[in-house]
Amino acid sequence: MELMNSICKLAPHCKHAGKEGICNALCSPFMLLHGEGNSGLWKATNVPPKYRNVTFETLPIQTDNPTAYGFLKAYRGNVLENARNGIGLFFYSIPNASNKFGTGTGKTTSAVAILHAYLLERVKEDSKGGQKIDQNPALFYKASELQTLYNSQFRGTPDMQEKASLRYYKIKKLLMSAEMVIIDDIGIRQKITDAFENELTEIIDARDSKVLMTIYTSNLPIEKLAETLGERIASRIEGMTEQVAFVGKDHRRGGVLK
């Protein structure tokens, strides 16, 4: 039977990686993480394909952001406990003369690296008889895509609106219950409507009250979020996260960071 160590994300952490008769598609941790035909938990995170292979070991922020890197290295070293204590993270940019909008400094890449580290630790924990995984434990969603999905409930034909509504409330339920969530690029749009502000507040409040870990990324510092998201949301995010600043040039132009 074909060995799976070349594609299994657990291989660097597994003593059986590459062993005949063990390291194959029948391995239960492999099936949980990758599924049949790449349908497991790794794909179910909704992490965009360009970030799918990001790990902390390949995180390219140490030179430009040594302080952020050091903090995240410590956080990742005890990621299960930190997440279960609801210690969220808010990654934001500090603009400079060469990068006026603070884009491409590694915020999303860093967030995904933490999410992937958490997912691997959960699968290892499950496989060793610890806390079982009963739903997708980690989820990535762009704030703009969530708002677009919410708005789509009120556009098009009645059939289109019904399908959009079913999808929106399915995603909303997952965002309110997943053990770890990334809400990416929050606050980048103009002032949101009162209706969507209430929806976002409900999601954030649910995660806060259930002590569920959330990573937010934004080009805006906390004090600026209120201008687009409202005081309620900005205050809640501030109260449930550790703030981590990112600086430097826009590495997107070189295809290194996101």
**CATH code of the domain containing 145:** 3.40.50.300
60 and 159 co-located in one domain? yes
Domain holding 4, by residue range, is 1-35
- In SS3 terms, the chain reads as CCCCCCCCCCHHHCCCCCCCCCCCCCCHHHHHHHCCCCCCHHHHCCCCHHHCCCCHHHCCCCCCCHHHHHHHHHHHHCHHHHHHCCCEEEEEECCECCECCCCCCCHHHHHHHHHHHHHHHHHHHHHCCCCCCCCCCEEEEEHHHHHHHHHHHHCCCHHHHHHHHHHHHHHHHHHHHCCEEEEECCCCCCCCCHHHHHHHHHHHHHHHHCCCEEEEEECCCHHHHHHHHCHHHHHHHHHCEEEEEECCCCHHHHCCCC
55 and 18 co-located in one domain? no
Q: Is the pLDDT of residue 15 over 70?
A: yes
pLDDT of residue 257: 54
Domain tally, the chain = 2
pLDDT of residue 52: 93
pLDDT of residue 227: 87
62 and 168 co-located in one domain? yes
Query: Residues 6 or more apart from 146 whose CB is under 8 A from it?
Result: 171, 175, 183, 200
pLDDT of residue 161: 95
223 and 249 co-located in one domain? yes
pLDDT of residue 252: 60
| Average pLDDT, rounded, for the chain | 91
29 and 62 co-located in one domain? no
Distance of CA 53 to the CA centre of its chain: 13
Q: Is the pLDDT of residue 224 over 60?
A: yes
Q: Given the structure tokens 């239960």, which residue do they identify? A: 28
Structure tokens at 59: 């995180």
Mean pLDDT of 77-106: 85
24 and 91 co-located in one domain? no
- How many residues can be counted in the chain? 258
Q: What is the pLDDT of residues 139-166, one digit of tens each?
A: 999 999 999 999 999 999 999 999 999 9
**Which has the higher per-residue pLDDT, 151 or 100?**
151
Structure tokens at 124: 């290892």
Mean pLDDT of 32-38: 87
Confidence band for 34, pLDDT divided at 50, 70 and 90: very high
pLDDT of residue 36: 85
pLDDT of residue 201: 95
Tell me the C-alpha to C-alpha distance, in Å, between residue 238 and each of 14, 91, 137, 193, 248: 38, 11, 23, 21, 23
9 and 46 co-located in one domain? no
> What residues does 244 pair with on adjacent strands?
91
